[in-house]
Structure 1
Amino acid sequence: LELNGQVDRFGLASAIGRIDLFDPANFTDIKVMFSNVNMPRLTPYSSTFAGRKIDAGKLSLNLEYKIRHRQLEGDNQIIIDNIKLGERVESPQAKDLPLDLAIAILEDPDGRIDLGLPISGNLDDPQFSYGGIIWKAIVSIFEKIATAPFKALGALFGGGGEQIGSIHFDPGAAGLSPPEQEKIVRIAGILGKRPGLALTVHGVYSDADRDALQDLQLRRQVAVKAGEHLGAHENPGPLSTGSPKIQDALESLYSDRMGSAELAALKAGFRKANPGQLKESVSARMISGLSGLFRKKRALNERDLAQLKGADFYIVLFRRLRDKEPIAEDALQSLGKARGENAYASLQAAGIPPDRLVLAQPEKVDSDGQGVPAKLELGAVPEPA
């Protein structure tokens, strides 16, 4: 078999292969080529299976079909150039899919989509049609893209799509770590090759941020109490609980906030749970004894004593103070806003134009093993009005 023909005014078609003329459904081995076919003529298929008309575009197909005993197996190479979707069409068979996003992911800078598409089907199926089976396969690809757009995008550019679907921040920090900055450069590089894609950035905050801010805020207060001079927002670094100045500062803060009686009870309980530790000077014992005459003593229960056994007393003080450290909700929202702005600015600096970036309002999320994740969302760049 060898056929050549024309499709519409500018399209070509050809077919070559072998076929059982008396029973094509029993044996067919054929290669079919369509070139430069005007896509609006395929609107009946796109309307039925995708729920959209096609306003413009060119289609080229290289099809290899084998039929054995009414079972079709085919490999299709589909090239679509400059497709433009039209209005939506109601169809009971159509799935509600973000077709514009799928096209933006698949379409290269020249407006070309190149797909390898294996298909199969049984000719006895009452729903079987050659055009329909191809469109169903295309819709299946679009469905996978809609479910995991970053995975689909990553598959086109070396894998790891799931990793570029979010940017992670260290708890309490608004800045981007070097690995996340590298991720942003990769994201910008990929979007540079997909000009139809837009990106939405979310500012985020979590309970892990509250813990980190409480920790930082208290470390600053302890350091200042111990006599250190800190600049605004300066991180004092780790505290040494073996330093007498840090110990005195922690005891002073604990006494101021929890009361001297609570401090005395905690010390007494610690000594009971850890005999021979936390020695007290003679003068301190005298002051403690005199003050004890004028206050009701409180003893720790067995559960508290068990938690103190083997612990570092000053770490216990720090943790109890930290858990009570007040952090305003608007401080967390401000952190989320700063993160979104930093990510937005970094993406723009990496080469993504501002008209393809959207900064969403900050939202609360759950932290994960990598930090606090700020999700990214892909969308199609809107057509000009």
Structure 2
Amino acid sequence: MGGDPAAEQVAKAAEEVVQRATKEKAPLRIGHLRVEDSAHVNFEDDVLRPPARFALKIEAFDMGELNSERPQGKTDLFLRARLNEFTQIEAQGWASPLAPKPDFALSTSVKYLQLPQLSPYTAQAIGLNIDSGRLQIKADATAQQGELQGVINLVANSLALTPASAEIAGQAEKTIGVPINTALNLLEDSEGKITLSLPLSGNLASPSFDFGDVITLAMTNVVKGAVLAPFKMALLPLNLLVDAASGSAPKLAPITFDANTITPDAQGKTILASLAKLLQEEEKLTVQVCGRTTLQDRTAALAKQALPPESDPIYPVAVADLRAGLGQLAQSRTTAVRQALDEQYGIRRGRVLECRSYFDDQDNGPPRVEIKF
């Protein structure tokens, strides 16, 4: 770390005073500390490759009285600074840093934080690269007898994330229930903004307390709730979201079909209508549809036209033809769903993608089209 010589001298002197007072158990008293528009601190994290570099310009810093003989006394704090020229930081409030259990009430705002600068840290911590995005933060926090309570309000613009690996992508999907890009699309409003509110709580005096853990847990819970909210509103009243409470990734219930046809049954039509409603409300969302034919289709097909005896030379050909026909039926179901969403509900086909359709002779489930995020 490098920086302004004057600021470094002030910091060094303050550190020496605190160390001496702590060692000698002598009273510590600072009447007032002020740093004005001349302090520059440069940070370089050479643990990363390439190193991450940050330049902090302190425009104003004020700290009120600090007195070890009155450890419960409130020290007023104010900071206004710029990070890497464009990010505006402001914090104000009070703290009792010498109290046995920390007390404080602080409000902090950060504006125009360019998120790609933090990508090396998010990649290392959670396996996600930040390709683009700008963040504004408003945080209010208090601590009484070491018990933290607070909230962080975040507004992100044009956020784009990519997993560092396929394994990380799978882990992220398992955590929040849907792929990362789907989660971002659901969270964004019509202007491309993501607004989140993260509640904070914990015991600052606990040896196991970690701000990173608190924020990670809050972020995970908020993202889970925000991502699942559209599905709950649109689908849960009709019991169309499966595995939502099992701890695994939530999935949409499939569109079920009458056996050996491309016609959805009554439940399938209900799910199709709810899927259309979801896509109409979430304009950035895309889904995949995958036709499946099962043993029920095979049984219905054989009821119409039985196979010849296995001893008949034509038997292998008939079996191959049957399997081919059932495979084509699976594909036809995929096409039928895409057509219905387009022609009946106005959902353009570019938002409803195909995944592999097939016949599975070990599948005891209903004839269906599966829906994936």
**Scaled by the length of structure 2, what TM-score is found?**
0.57
The equivalent of 2:231 in structure 1 is 154
**Scaled by the length of structure 1, what TM-score is found?**
0.56
CA 1:128–1:69: 2 relative to 1, 3 Å: same
Amino acid at match of 1:360: C
Amino acid at match of 1:5: R
SS in 2 for 1:361: coil
Q: Is the 8 A contact 1:171 1:209 kept in 2?
A: yes
Amino acid at match of 1:339: R
The equivalent of 1:328 in structure 2 is 322
Q: What displacement does 1:87 show?
A: 7.5
Identity of aligned residues (%): 21
CA 1:86–1:167: 2 relative to 1, 3 Å: closer
RMSD: 4.1
Q: Is the 8 A contact 1:45 1:132 kept in 2?
A: no
The equivalent of 1:376 in structure 2 is 371
Amino acid at match of 1:352: I
Q: What displacement does 1:105 show?
A: 2.9
Number of aligned pairs?
A: 266
Q: What displacement does 1:112 show?
A: 1.6
Q: What displacement does 1:57 show?
A: 1.2
The equivalent of 2:181 in structure 1 is 100
* 1:75 and 2:75 aligned: no
CA 1:11–1:159: 2 relative to 1, 3 Å: farther
Output one character per residue of 1:105-159: Cα deviation in whole Å (capped at 9) or x when no partner: 32233212222322334435677554564245435666x59xx97x464147574
The equivalent of 2:196 in structure 1 is 115
SS in 1 for 2:261: coil
Q: Is the 8 A contact 2:139 2:150 kept in 1?
A: yes
Unaligned runs of 5+ in 2: 1-75, 174-178, 243-251, 310-317
* 1:341 and 2:345 aligned: no
CA distance in structure 2 between the partners assigned to 1:44 and 1:140 by the alignment: 24
The equivalent of 2:293 in structure 1 is 205
Amino acid at match of 2:241: E
The structure that is strand-richer by fraction is 2
CA distance in structure 1 between the partners assigned to 2:259 and 2:89 by the alignment: 60
Q: Work out which structure has the larger RCO, using CA pairs closer than 8 Å and 6 or more positions apart in sequence.
A: 1
CA distance in structure 1 between the partners assigned to 2:186 and 2:154 by the alignment: 16
Q: Is the 8 A contact 1:367 1:373 kept in 2?
A: no
Q: Is the 8 A contact 2:104 2:144 kept in 1?
A: yes
CA distance in structure 2 between the partners assigned to 1:158 and 1:43 by the alignment: 35
CA distance in structure 1 between the partners assigned to 2:162 and 2:325 by the alignment: 46
CA distance in structure 2 between the partners assigned to 1:153 and 1:118 by the alignment: 21
**Bigger Cα Rg:** 1
Q: Is the 8 A contact 1:170 1:372 kept in 2?
A: yes
Q: Is the 8 A contact 1:208 1:367 kept in 2?
A: yes
Q: Is the 8 A contact 1:51 1:90 kept in 2?
A: no
The structure that is helix-richer by fraction is 1
CA 1:331–1:44: 2 relative to 1, 3 Å: closer
Question: Which deviates more, 121-130 or 38-47?
Answer: 121-130
Amino acid at match of 1:186: S
Q: Which residues in structure 2 correspond to 1:272-291 (within 5 Å)? A: none
